[in-house]
Amino acid sequence: MNTTGETSLSPAQLDQLSINTIRFLSIDAVQKANSGHPGLPLGAAPMAYVLWTRFLQHNPTNPHWFNRDRFVLSAGHGSMLLYSLLYLTGYDLPLDQIKQFRQWGSVTPGHPERGLTPGVETTTGPLGQGFGNGVGMAIAEAYLAARYNRPGFDVMHHFTYGLVSDGDLMEGVASESASLAGHLKLGKLIYLYDDNRITLAASTQLTFTEDRAQRFAAYGWHTQSIEDGNDVEAIDRAIRAAQQETDRPSLILVRMHIGYGSPHKQDTFAAHGSPLGEEEVNLTKQNLGWPVEPPFLVPDAVEQHCRQVVHRGQLAEAEWNEKFSAYEQQYPEQARDLRLLIAGELPPGWDANIPQLPADAKGLATRVASGTIMETISRTVPGLIGGSADLNPSTYTELHDAGSFENSTRAVGDLQGSAVGGWSYAGRNLQFGVREHAMGAILNGLATHGGTTPFGATFLTFSDYMRPPIRLAALMGIQVVYIFTHDSLALGEDGPTHQSVEQVASLRAIPQLMVIRPGDANETAVLGGWQSKRGTGRWP
């Protein structure tokens, strides 16, 4: 195949040339680093290419444009796939950084890190976490759209996409998150599943043989299967069908081949987590009609083609800005509030009514005081949204009169402790169910999306169930508020399973996580307001 761009290429040839450019940028970088995961980029390049160049609404010159589509690489070990896409579509990620993949001081680390690489939405790597993050992002979009959109003014309207792997779907946090997403009918959530049936150590035949399509259909998801993962037009049709499915999240099962094109390592676990080796890299290039030299080749035709995304993204953002200006003229109050949320700023006087609580000889329970403070803050801070792992009556975290976030078409009965403000996507009480791990990952997605200040509550001892996303939130430096009640040996009658002896020390061991243990009701009031004002969960 011609790789110079000097002759005219058909659309199909240009697609294939672009896909192979993604593949070989990725494996050249892995080989140069002598570490990394070449298998996923080789296999998943076609579906990622179709999504990023035909569907993803984004502006590479402004990665923070608020109404962009979100993309989560939940299979974070395949980071070179994402870096190749970012480079080719015009983000501020020079080719020199691709060549420094996994090296100290580069912005192309082994797993994607939010805040380091332009265009990376969330830190992924621990499998399943990105899956839950995407659910949180879709909730954030649905909440902001329900609260602020008006007829003729869909100022919040975007999709959340993700690329998930066998390993992601094996993790319990993905199961918890998928169950809740299906229940909530998050129709703007679309995941591409790299169904390559190989993990780091073996074939999935050893451990993972359920029918994944039926499993997700049972969760309430719309599912499609593509048997040939190299069929770009089939992938195109499937994504279009998923976009039209407004009442269910979508999982597109794409049958891929890990290490595609490698003569000796395709469809084997040897392609998962180790470089192919120089000889196998050369054989793979020859097998797919790619020049062996030079490495890191980007044909002119591919660069020109992929960089068209920049113009389309700038145009889309300009159109959105124009729409928002018109929206601001007709709905100035809503526009003002939304601008504050987008900027992560608090409205003037938000803390004016935080009460001074009376002294109490018995000592007012800090969880009761916390509930009072949250109620007060929620009346002036519309971005405050969250809930508990089915423990609202015990943690006092229900925001009364704020409604519950729920698909309004679902028939629901009366729930103990439920908000009285009705059921819709504009509700601010999230009903997580008994899903602490998913709650943590979803809160991270809400925070990374922006426009919300998410909180989650459970008993302190069950912080162990959500420790992985807490650690990731601290690594990213995002603002997530955790409310842990029922502290220590005071839970005498519940026995040692509920007596949180070591949890505070464990949480304090997490770098950049701020742990505050108020001693009375007024400390709770002061610290609750201070934490909201700070706007971050990190130490200075």
User: From residue 390, how far is each of 396, 490, 537 by CA, in Å?
Assistant: 11, 21, 24
- Residue, of 260 and 358, whose pLDDT is higher: 260
Residue pair 141/186 in contact (Cβ under 8 Å)? The answer is no
Which secondary-structure segment (H or E) carries 161? strand 160-165
Alpha-carbon separation of residue 38 from 108, 172, 276 (angstroms): 15, 26, 7
Mean pLDDT of the region 370-385:
93
**Half-sphere exposure (CA, 13 Å, Cβ side) for 140?**
33
What are the residue numbers of the active site?
Answer: 436
Confidence (pLDDT) at 530 = 58
Q: Which CATH architecture has domain 366-534?
A: 3-Layer(aba) Sandwich (3.40)
| CA–CA distance, 534 with 526 (Å, rounded to integer) | 12
Q: Where are the beta strands (DSSP E) in 361-506?
A: 384-388, 404-405, 423-424, 429-431, 453-459, 481-485
Instruction: Give the pLDDT confidence of 483-504 residue by residue, as tens digits.
Output: 999 987 778 888 999 999 999 9
pLDDT tens per residue, range 234-289: 999 999 999 999 999 999 999 999 999 999 999 999 999 999 999 999 999 999 99
The beta-carbon contacts of 336-340 under 8 Å, at least 24 apart in sequence, are 337/148, 337/382, 338/144, 338/148, 338/155, 338/156, 338/451
Using a pLDDT cut of 70, give the percent of the chain over it: 93
- Can you tell me which residue has the tokens 């220590």? 488
Q: Give the confidence band of 528 by pLDDT, cuts at 50, 70, 90.
A: low
Q: Quick check: do 11-313 and 366-534 share a fold? A: yes
Banded model confidence at residue 412, pLDDT cuts 50, 70, 90: very low
Residue 421 binned pLDDT confidence (cut-offs 50, 70, 90): very low
11-313 maps to which CATH number? 3.40.50.970
Q: Which of 246-260, 322-336, 372-386, 517-531 is predicted least confidently? A: 517-531
- Which band of pLDDT confidence, cut at 50, 70 and 90, is reported for residue 525? confident
Q: Which of 206, 140, 219 is nearest to 174 (CA)?
A: 219
Phi then psi dihedrals of residue 313, to 5 deg: -65, -40
- Residue 3 banded pLDDT, cuts 50, 70, 90: low
Burial class (CB in 10 A: 0-12, 13-18, 19+), 464: middle
Counting residues of the chain whose pLDDT is more than 90, the rounded percentage is 85
Query: Mean pLDDT in the chain?
Result: 93
Name the strand (E) or helix (H) holding 339: helix 332-343
Buried/exposed 190-206: b ≥16 CB within 10 Å, e otherwise: bbbbbbbbbbeeebbee
DSSP assignment string, 483-521:
EEES-BTT-GGG-TTT-BSSHHHHHHTSTT------SSH
Judged against a pLDDT cut of 70, whether residue 416 lies above it is answered with no
Identify the three-state secondary structure at position 479: coil
Q: Calculate mean pLDDT across residues 384-395.
A: 96
Strand 189-195 vs strand 222-226: parallel, antiparallel, or unpaired?
unpaired
Average pLDDT over residues 119-142: 98
Q: At what angle do helices 129-148 and 436-449 cross, to 10 degrees?
A: 60
* Residue 294, preceding peptide bond in cis (omega within 30° of 0): yes
pTM higher than 0.85, yes or no?
A: yes
CA dihedral 252, 253, 258, 260 (to 10 degrees): -70
Q: Domain limits of the chain? A: 11-313, 366-534
Q: Using the predicted structure, report yes or no on whether residue 540 has a pLDDT greater than 50.
A: no
Give, in order, the Cα–Cα distances in Å from 1 to each of 14, 26, 88, 282: 10, 19, 20, 16
**Which carries the bigger pLDDT value, residue 140 or residue 530?**
140
Structure tokens at 438: 């998913």
**Cα-flanking dihedrals φ and ψ of residue 104, to 5°?**
-60, 130
3-state secondary structure of 203: strand
Nearest to 384 by CA among 463, 475, 467, 447: 447
